[in-house]
Chains A and B, each alone.
Chain A
Amino acid sequence: MTLAINPIEVASFGISAGAVFGLLALGLVLIYRTTGVMNFGHWAIGLVAVVSYAWLTGEGMLPQAALPICLLLAMAAGVAAYRLVFKRIARSNQIIVILVAVGIAQFYSSLAALVLGFRPFTRLPPWLPMATLEVAGMRLRMSDVYTIGVGLAIAVGFFFWFRVSRSGQALRAVAQNREAAVLAGIDDVRYSSLAWAIGSGLAALALLIIMPHSAGQQGGLITTFDLTPLGTLLIPAFGAALVGGLVNLPMALVGGVFFGLTREFLVLAPAPWSELRTSVAAILIVVLLLLRTERFFATRQELEALEA
């Protein structure tokens, strides 16, 4: 089977995958910036939405109607994790914070597995249109176009919300200097919960974009194996977040697109390399870690305040 590969088509796959990584990274960065927790359970909280989506659509609900309910459920799961657990831990003790995040991951992913049960796979109906678009001889998938659109819309929405709205400004204040924000009369627990809600909602949206549209026309099939999408989703998302030094939101989106494009263009590479998606991502991540990207985006005081 020979496929004529058009670089623009590959780029469209890459950017849409990158938008998904970017959404995940955005959630990670938002939560880390406001509460000092690097959420290793990010995907697991998103899974709450995926399994409830599978369950609701399995009961005969319209996918588009089920979507907002699922997003709300994931948000509730994230806020619960913050209010019940993370709020009670001193963020200076990063080992405990990370171990707890790992525990949260285990808890929610096990919950997801419990809801799905032991069926070999579960069908997820698509909620984005699955047609292909022919433009100037190129075949673009409509779902990719919509994904890119959603990513852009969220980026623009965030930009204005952070600059203009009162709650956005309050959230930024908490992220930049929690103590000063509290002294200025901002309820930091409330705005941290808001950050967790938005971050978890973004994780859920990212997973709900990629999982129901992974298998072409018939939607998506997930197995219990897909319940731990570490290599395929979480690691590129960490990489994307690292492009912005784990603290910068716009750069996290840019990083997502970068990782998405790298991944898709690797498919075109000769045989041993095309198999090594995660390894290439790993090399990039190590380079980013050694560059200590965070120093470009935050002052030393801000970084120290994150974990104090």
Chain B
Amino acid sequence: MSTAVESPEVPEQVIEAPSAVATKKTRRNQFIALGALAALGAVPIPFGDYGFFIGQYAAVYAMLGLSVTIVTGYAGLISLMPYTFAGLGAVMTGLIMTGWGWPFWLAAPMAALATLPVSLVVGMASVRLKTLYLAIATLTFSTALGETFFRWDLVTGGRIGWTVASPRLGPIDFGTDLNFYLLCLLVVLGLVWMTEGLRTSRLGRAMLAVRDNELEAQALGINVYKTKLAAFVLSGMMAGFGGAFLAVLLGNVSPGGYQSPVAEVTSILLVSLVVIGGIDRAWGAFFGAISLVVQSQVFQGARFFFPFFGMYSAFFLMLFLLFRPGGLVQVSKITTELVKRRPVFGIAVVLVTVALNLGIAYIFIRAS
């Protein structure tokens, strides 16, 4: 059984050749990457506070998306309940910050920890199941939790929910859009770095082995069940941690946002954004979140915002799954290769693609 989300592996120079020339080249590439990242992070600046708010959205969705990367991309388990875990984290953040009066810096790790019992129980019950059955089980658990946990008024703050204040650190107030944007960006980059690190760690390699061939992994002495469970729990904690930031971003946590059908629909949206970005690399969640936010801004003015947005992203999801299962990460790799081999043609392709996208977006904004 090969259930891998395949993407052609481009050999990584870092590992391959530790010669002086390669190190120099690697360092140059790292500088280029850092520069590109800085430019990307600076995109919201001309749009002012609104831009920062949108940037926060992208960062928080990237955090939630990373949980999908770990569970589906690395371990090959389909979970249709990431947003339920995020809701758990958000509700716990509300309880801890508003109900108990603790600072955000304690609430966020505790929100991640709070998902632990739930993800352990759900994971132990369902992680052994085949892909398809696991998808059904997680969908069911997501709905069932909406009916039980999210109706527990003592924890969720009842129908009104909790109002969540913005965090503070000494003299720095993260209530302003710019500061919170910078915080989110920093945290998400840290998490991407951690998730990318997980990929090459012992546990991460075990996950990839389990995803690619369970029997082979078992023969290598990997405990398949424990590895899957670890992936499920880690992904739950990641979503819970992101949920803490979601709570601050929204300013108010009410349980209605995490019950059926909103929770399932948002979970599906999260999965599709990660697939579009690239499911088996940590950067995929990041790029996916950016593409989601850009799309949502383009369609913002349209009368039928959500339907249009849903159809558009579903269309792209299927297009990517059929032709580029590695997502935007794979596309960018292929494009980089093309530019390296045939610079003129490659750059022309990139420019035409960008122009086409911008043109479509412009036509859409004008028409709506």
Contact of B271 among A99, A109, A238, A285 (CB under 8 A): A99
Stretch in contact with the other chain, from A69-77, A90-98, A139-147: A90-98
Which of A99, A107, A117, A289 neighbours the largest number of chain B CB atoms within 10 Å of its CB?
Answer: A99
What mask results when residues 289 to 309 of chain B are scored 1 for a CB within 8 Å of chain A, else 0?
000000000000001101111
What mask results when residues 256 to 284 of chain A are scored 1 for a CB within 8 Å of chain B, else 0?
00000000000000000001111101110
Is the C-beta of B35 less than 8 angstroms from some C-beta in chain A?
no
Is the C-beta of A129 less than 8 angstroms from some C-beta in chain B?
no
Which of B3, B261, B272 neighbours the largest number of chain A CB atoms within 10 Å of its CB?
Answer: B261
Contacting B at CB under 8 A, from A73-129, are: 85, 88-89, 92-96, 98-100, 102-107, 109-111, 113-114, 117-118
Contact of A113 among B130, B271, B310, B315 (CB under 8 A): B310
Is the C-beta of B133 less than 8 angstroms from some C-beta in chain A?
yes
Q: A103-B321, A230-B143, A278-B144 are in contact. Are A285 and B136 (CB under 8 A)?
A: yes
Contact of B147 among A94, A102, A109, A275 (CB under 8 A): A275
Residues of A within 8 A of B80 (CB): 102
Q: How far is the CB of B132 from chain A (nearest CB, A)?
A: 5
Contacting A at CB under 8 A, from B1-59, are: 1-5
Contacting B at CB under 8 A, from A212-254, are: 225, 228-231, 234-235, 238, 242, 246
Residues of B within 8 A of A150 (CB): none
Residues of B within 8 A of A113 (CB): 304, 306-307, 310
Nearest opposing residue in chain B for A81, CB measure = B318
Q: How far is the CB of B114 from chain A (nearest CB, A)?
A: 20
B: number of interface residues (CB 8 Å): 53
Is the C-beta of A130 less than 8 angstroms from some C-beta in chain B?
no
Cα distance A1–B54 when bound, in Å? 50
Binding site for B on A (CB under 8 A): 38, 40, 85, 88-89, 92-96, 98-100, 102-107, 109-111, 113-114, 117-118, 225, 228-231, 234-235, 238, 242, 246, 275-279, 281-283, 285-286, 289-290, 307
List the 5 shortest-distance A-B pairs measured between CB atoms, nearest first: A110-B310, A228-B261, A114-B307, A282-B144, A107-B314
Q: List 16 A-B contacts (CB under 8 A).
A: A92-B2, A94-B3, A95-B5, A102-B271, A106-B311, A107-B314, A110-B311, A118-B303, A228-B265, A231-B147, A242-B136, A279-B148, A281-B140, A282-B144, A285-B136, A285-B137
